[in-house]
Structure 1
Amino acid sequence: MIKSGITIGLISGSVLGLFLKWIETITGKKVYTLLLNIDFIPVIGAVTWPESIEFFFHLLIAFIIGILFVYAAKKFTTQSWKWLLVISTILTLPTIPLYFPLTILAIKETPALNDFMAILYWTIGHLLFALTLAYSYYFMQKRSSHK
């Protein structure tokens, strides 16, 4: 369960990170910067981390969500695509409003609190995370049942 959760967390977290990095590159909206930003956290925020380590910190959260997702999917013994999508969305929805406290707490430049497009990109990215979470699990279950 933990290994599966980490795997789908890695896949989903990478998709989210790459999507927001792409958006930031083409639009200039600092949504990827916001995703990786930890400058407001005491002690570790004082360190200037390389991007790869900041991305790893982001993935740690994705691992936790992935593990919770696998636990919930197994608890409800569901293989239904619809229910997997419901579970992944429920677990992911709380990450969307995190845009606001993360923006308020950030020391480095991040999008404005009222930047509608940045909020939209952030929301799309996190819904893409939920979709990838459910699909990755569904694919892994289908693949393992055919062995």
Structure 2
Amino acid sequence: MIARGGIIGLAGGIILGIFLKGIQALTGLKVYTLLLNVDFIYSKPLPEWVEFGIHLAVAVPIGIGFILIRDWLKFITLLKQSALALLITIPAGFLYFPLSILANKNVPSVYDIRAFGWWAAAHLVFAGVLVWGGWIVRRSASN
């Protein structure tokens, strides 16, 4: 279960990153830059792949936690799994505000409603990947 949860978290993190990178390319809103930004923790510039790796290092445990909690609570229905995924993901969506405030890089303002909307949408996509991946894991385990 841990490996499957890790794969789900990894997939979700990759899709979230690609989504925000695409939004940044299309709109100019620096939401992908915000996602990868760790300059308030580590002041020296890091390569994009290292910053993306840090992002994935957060996404993987979230995927593992989702599967472990889902199985512990015996959430079988899609509705319950969706509620759990949202419960886990919504706090990450609100990290937009402290990350925007703490950033030294040029990132969207805490008052940028469009940027926050795209950020929130990306995190809803992540929640969707958790549910979809969890559904696949449950179906493959029952076969």
Report TM bin, short chain: over 0.9
Map 1:48-63 to 2 at 5 A: 48-63=45-60
> 1:134 maps to what in 2?
131
Identity of aligned residues (%): 41
1:77, distance to aligned residue in structure 2 (A): 1.4
Gaps of 5+ in 1: none
What is the number of equivalent residue pairs in this alignment?
143
Task: Give the aligned partner of residue 93 of structure 1.
Answer: 90
**TM-score (normalizing by structure 1):** 0.94
| CA displacement at 1:145 relative to structure 2 | 1.8
| Alpha-carbon offset, residue 30 of structure 1 | 0.3
Question: 1: distance between equivalents of 2:5 and 2:129?
Answer: 12
The offset of 1:74, in angstroms, is 0.7
The structure 1 segments of at least 4 consecutive aligned residues displaced by more than 3 Å after TM superposition are none
Q: Which runs of 5+ in 2 are unaligned?
A: none
Letter in 1 for 2:81: L
Q: Which residue of structure 1 aligns with residue 142 of structure 2?
A: 145
Does residue 84 (structure 1) correspond to residue 78 (structure 2)? The answer is no
For residues 18-37 of structure 1, what are the structure 2 equivalents within 5 Å?
Answer: 18-37=18-37
Task: Specify which of 103, 107, 132 is matched with residue 106 of structure 1.
Answer: 103
Corresponding residue of 2:62: 65
TM-score, scaled to structure 2: 0.96
Q: Deviations over 1:25-79 (max 9, x none)?
A: 00000000000000001xxx12321111111100011011111101111101122
Q: Is 29-38 or 74-83 further displaced after alignment?
A: 74-83
For 2:68, give the aligned amino acid.
Y
**RMSD of equivalent CA atoms:** 0.9
Opposite residue 90 of structure 1, the aligned amino acid is L
